[in-house]
Amino acid sequence: QVQLQESGPGLVKPSETLSLTCAVSGYSIRSGYYWGWIRQPPGKGLEWIGNIYQTGNTYYNPSLKSLVTISVDTSKNQFSLKLTSVTAADTAVYFCARGFGTMVRGVIGFYFDYWGQGSLVTVSS
């Protein structure tokens, strides 16, 4: 049974860096798939942030690319998200998820089959 669990601070000050980690159990990141982050502001829809492969190859939402870093630690079977210079607009539930990758004319995309329960991060002073 694949399980994902987010962890990290629930409160971040404006202009600081949001950091979250996703621990994966029941499946080895080394075995494949693309591991990703999606967020959902309170009462709103879903926004893809980015994905990473076991090799460290990353794929980011173009609208967030300059602010986001996703990294992977295969020895701990976990991956992490850093979002810099946060504002109140970054207040959201952050989900980690396992992505199944597809390739169309050199562009990669993912759908998500296993999700963590989500971690609410509030940006406030």
Start-end of H helices in the chain: none
Measured from the CB atom, the residue of 48 and 79 that comes closer to other proteins is 48
Residue 16 vs 47, nearer CB to other proteins: 47
Beta strands in 1-41 (DSSP E): 3-7, 11-12, 18-25, 34-40
Least Å from the CB of residue 17 to other proteins: 23
Binding site residues, other proteins, CB under 8 A: 45-48, 61-62, 95, 97, 100, 102, 104-105, 107, 109-113, 115-118
- Rounded CA gap, 122 and 11, in Å? 5
User: Whole-number minimum distance, CB 41 to other proteins, in Å?
Assistant: 12
Q: How far is the CB of 97 from other proteins (least distance, A)?
A: 8
**CA gap 25, 95 in Å, rounded:** 15
